[in-house]
Amino acid sequence: MAPMRIRPGATVTAAVCAGVLLATSACGGGGGSGSDTIVIGYSGPLSGGAAAYGKNIQDGLQLAIDELNNQGVTVDGEQYRVELRSLDDQYAPDAAATNAQRLAEQDDAAVVFIPHAGGIQAAQELNSSRTEFLLGAYSSDPKIVEQGNELTMMIPPSFESYAEPFVDKLTRNGESRLGLLGTASEYGQEWTKLVTQEWKSRGGQVLSDNSIDYGTVSDFAGPVSRTLAENPDVIFLGGPSQPTAVIIEEARRQGYEGSFLLMDQAKFEEMEEFTDPKNLNDAIGVKPVRNYDDPGTEDLLDAYAEKVTKKRPVTSEVALNYQSAAIVVAAMEQAGSIDDPTAIREAIPDAIGEVGEQFHVSGFPTEITDAGHLRNQDLEAAYRTPDGEYEYLPIEQPDE
C-alpha cells in the first residue's frame, strides 16, 4: 500500500484555511453578546506568578454577578443577564490594554476590570479615545486617579493613607529603628519609600534596605538575619501573603520580638493559614474581611466556601471586587444604559446608595470622588496585639 503523498504546500494551505475558519467562527462567537446580556470584561493574571491574585479578583466579580443574576437585573425596563468575560494578561501592561480593547470592541463590554497599576495605566491611554469603556481599576496606587482619566473607577483605598496611622501606632512606645524587608516589586518599592519618609519625618532611624524579590529568593533566612543583625524595633515587610508569612515565621524563629508593619498586599487571614498565627502577633495591616460585620459579610463567606473553595479565606481582593461589580451594575440600572460608559460613570454616585445590602461586605463605599475613587468614610486598619487579638483603628483618607 503506497503511502498517500501530500504536497507540503497543500498542507500549509489547508492549515491556513482551517486557521482562518477557526478565527472567523471564534470572532462570530465572541461578538455574540446577545441583546439581553450585559458583558463585564476582566483582564488579569490568570496564569504565571500572579495567577492566584488574578483568580481571587475573578472569583469576587463572578460571585457578585451570580448573585445579581439571581435577583434579576432590569435596565430601562428590560431584563438582562450579566456575564463575566475574562482574558489572561499574565500581569503584562500591554497585554492588559489589548485585552481591554478586545473586550470593549468584540464583546461590547462597557466596563472592564483590571487589577494592576501597569495595566490600568496602559488601558487609560485607550478608554477615552476610540474605544470607550469604564475602567474598574483595582490598584491602591494613587497615580491611577491622578491622571484625570474620566472613565476610571479606583476600587481599593489608596496605599498612601496607611503609612501615617501605621507608623503612629507602632512608634507609641518610642520605637525608633525601622528595618526594611519589603518586596522588590515596583509597588513594594513605592511602599518602602513612603514608610521610609514617614518614619524619618518622626526622627526615627531607617536601617539598611534589605528588599528582596519574594518570588525568586529560595531561602529567606539570609535576608532575615541581615535585617535582624541591625536590631530593628519594627520591621516593614509584605508582598503576597504566603511568602510574607514564611518570612515572619523565619524572623520569629531567629528570635525577633519586635513589631511588623505590613504592606496592604499581605492579608492577616491568608497568613494565618500559612504560619502559626502567634507569629503574627504585634503587627499592623489591613483589616481581615471576616472581621467586618456588614450585612452581607456572612453570606459572601458562605458563598465563597460553597462555590469557590473552603481551603482559602475570603480576602479584600474578593470582597472589594464583589462590591464594585454590584456598584457598576446598579449604575447601569440608574443610567438606564448598558453601553454608555460615560452615563454609567456619572450614575455611580447615585448608584452607591441603591446597591442591595447583601453586597455590603467589607466597608462598602460611601462616596466616589470626582477623580473616580470609591471611598468608605469609616475605613479601618487592624492591629494584632501581642495577645493575638485584633484592634481596629480609623484611617484618614487624603483629599483628592
Footprint of another protein (CB under 8 A) = 46-49, 51-52, 54-55, 184, 208-213, 215-223, 225-226, 229, 240, 242-243, 246, 253-255, 274, 312
Nearest CA-CA partner of 42 in 94, 91, 111, 132: 111
State the first-to-last Cα distance of the chain, in angstroms, to the nearest integer: 79
Select 21 or 229, whichever has its Cβ closest to another protein: 229
Q: What is the nearest approach in angstroms of another protein to the Cβ of residue 51?
A: 3
Q: What is the nearest approach in angstroms of another protein to the Cβ of residue 160?
A: 25
Strands 152-154 and 234-238: unpaired
Select 48 or 386, whichever has its Cβ closest to another protein: 48
Select 211 or 297, whichever has its Cβ closest to another protein: 211
Grid coordinates representing 361? 461586605
Q: What is the nearest approach in angstroms of another protein to the Cβ of residue 49?
A: 4
Select 55 or 360, whichever has its Cβ closest to another protein: 55
Distance CA 168, CA 163 (A): 8
CB 331 within 8 A of CB 345: yes
Select 52 or 305, whichever has its Cβ closest to another protein: 52
Select 23 or 229, whichever has its Cβ closest to another protein: 229
Q: What is the nearest approach in angstroms of another protein to the Cβ of residue 330?
A: 31
Q: What is the nearest approach in angstroms of another protein to the Cβ of residue 218?
A: 6
Select 49 or 353, whichever has its Cβ closest to another protein: 49
**Cell numbers 446598579: residue:** 330
One-letter amino acid at 386 equals: P
CB neighbours of 289 closer than 8 A, spacing ≥ 6? 269, 297, 300, 301, 313, 314, 315, 316, 318, 319, 361, 362
Alpha-helical regions (H) of the chain:
8-30, 51-71, 93-105, 117-124, 143-146, 160-170, 186-201, 221-228, 241-253, 268-271, 297-307, 316-335, 341-354
Q: What is the nearest approach in angstroms of another protein to the Cβ of residue 197?
A: 20
Grid coordinates representing 309? 473553595
Grid coordinates representing 108? 461590547
Q: What is the nearest approach in angstroms of another protein to the Cβ of residue 242?
A: 4
